[in-house]
Amino acid sequence: MIEAEQGTELQSTAHGKEGTVADAEDSASLKPVKAVDRVEAVREAFRHAWNGYKAFAWGHDELKPISKTHGEWFGLGLTLIDALDTMWILGLKDEFAEARKWVETELLFSKNVDVNLFESTIRILGGLLSTYHLTGDTLFLDKAQDIGSRLMPAFKTPSKIPYSDVNIGKGSAHPPRWTTDSTVAEVTSIQLEFRELSRLTKDPQYQEVTRQVHRLEGKRDGLVPMFINTNSGKFTRRGALTLGARADSYYEYLLKQWLQGGKKETELLEDYLQAVEGVRKNLLRQTSPSKLTFVGELSNGRLNPKMDHLVCFLPGTLALGAHNGLPADHMELALQLMETCHQMYAQMETGLSPEIAHFNLQSNNGRDIDVKVAGYTPIFNCTFEIYSNSVTLFIHPEDLDSPRFGGGFMGGEISEILFPLFTLQDLIYL
């Protein structure tokens, strides 16, 4: 996954409540008191966020909670589509019915607009397919096939590696404005949705175009660079070997495609297992003195002890694989990495992880972590360093999936990590 290049509202603080959608009293009432209230607390939190979206951004891509306005990226109601399956699972049938009506009457994919192939696939196509599976309502499958078909021009390249951007109204596609290459994570993280669209519609074209993408040459011990050229189909040797931004979900989708295909596509499993061993060989290290296991980056043949918050997808992926018959030591590594990801939250004064952490391989004056803000002045002790350009956190689902998978497969204790994150309402309930 990569970060969306969108405007963000960063004026709020961890302690201020200016610009919240609801009054402070309403927000405070959402804080759960007892464990038995957790399900209802989650449901009420969703209602709170949904009511803010409905009041200030209905039908638009996103809510800007501080200014109480809306933001537009594609102009396709991204938040609404993203939330459909969640509403159904939470039993919010009235809210779901209202959103379904909007999809039926307002959601059109014929507009002259450039969309990102990856984001449109995982959010729009994936959201519609998920909702169809839950409800059986063919409206969502029809809409899914419409957007899936309109994304197909992205694959009309000499190498079959897709362009990143598609004009869904004109049926044209092109690279991003800032580079001639495509991001490896983007082009290798659309397969689940396109494969499922083929299965449901009995039209093989969607699966066939994405199958070409994984025939990649030039990997190092199963690890892939960050960029790939759409003309040659070859990796661009710039950037680092990383499991962070621009490469991360390549590895996740190898395993999940293998599972989606009934564990029959051995080439996907082989690529995944090779990648895990490549991580162990090239990127895995431990901090000093606390022995936290982390995944670094390889740049120009040298290890950089830097780990993106995004890498916290890996514990959940490893746990999922181990639960499905892969080596038991994958679960051991998952638990070690999950503890590191947990500490990236627990050792922060805000309770939130930094976007990027720099780990100490050698003890630094007895400090485990030096957290540095502007001016690079350490402000408290922990196991890794955080630089001033890394103190913002983009909330990622990876850190929810990893404890959920790990806790589910190991008896549930690790999932206790999740609820403290949920209850950071000064930051979350904006």
Can the peptide bond before residue 420 be classed as cis, meaning omega within 30 degrees of 0?
no
d(CA 191, CA 213): 9
Extract the tokens encoding 21. 């959608």
The pLDDT confidence band at residue 350, using thresholds 50, 70 and 90, is: confident
Residue 54 CB coordination number (10 Å): 17
Q: Among residues 399, 355, 354, which one has the least CA distance to residue 379?
A: 354
Name the more confident of 357 and 7.
357
Q: How confident is the model at residue 377 (pLDDT cuts 50, 70, 90)?
A: very low
Instruction: Pick the closest to residue 320 from 257, 409, 412 (CA basis).
Output: 409
Per-residue pLDDT at 199 exceeds 90: yes
Comparing 250-254, 370-374, 397-401, the range with the smallest average pLDDT is 370-374
Q: Contact 253/260 with Cβ under 8 angstroms?
A: no
Question: Could you tell me which residue, 294 or 31, shows the higher pLDDT?
Answer: 294
Tell me the CA distances in angstroms from 85 to 130, 148, 163, 292, one per residue in order: 6, 18, 29, 36
Is residue 97 within a helix (H) or strand (E), and if so which, with residue range?
helix 93-106
Give the three-state DSSP class for 269: helix
Report d(CA 210, CA 193) in Å as an integer.
10
Q: Are 310 and 242 in contact (CB under 8 A)?
A: no
- Averaged pLDDT for residues 55-67: 95
Residue 379: the pLDDT is 39
pLDDT value for 418:
59
- Range in 25-39, 168-182, 280-294, 359-373 the model is least confident about: 25-39
- Mean pLDDT, rounded, for 216-231: 92
The predicted model gives 329-357 an average pLDDT of 88
For 9-42, write each residue's pLDDT tens digit: 444 433 333 344 444 344 444 454 465 578 888 8
Q: And the tokens for 372? A: 């540095």
What is the Cα–Cα distance from 330 to 340, expressed in whole angstroms? 15
34 sits in the region (left: phi over 0; alpha: psi -120 to 50; else beta) called: beta
pTM of the model: 0.83
Query: What's the pLDDT score for residue 233?
Result: 92
* Token pair recorded at residue 192: 């689940």
Residue 132 pLDDT grade (very low, low, confident, very high; cuts 50, 70, 90): very high
Element (H, E) at 358: strand 356-359
d(CA 202, CA 206): 10
Length of the chain, in residues: 430
Segment 334-339 shows an average pLDDT of: 94
1 neighbors 242 (Cβ within 8 angstroms):
no
Name 229's bridge partners: 181
pLDDT, position 426? 42
Contact call for residues 252 and 241 (beta carbons, < 8 A): no
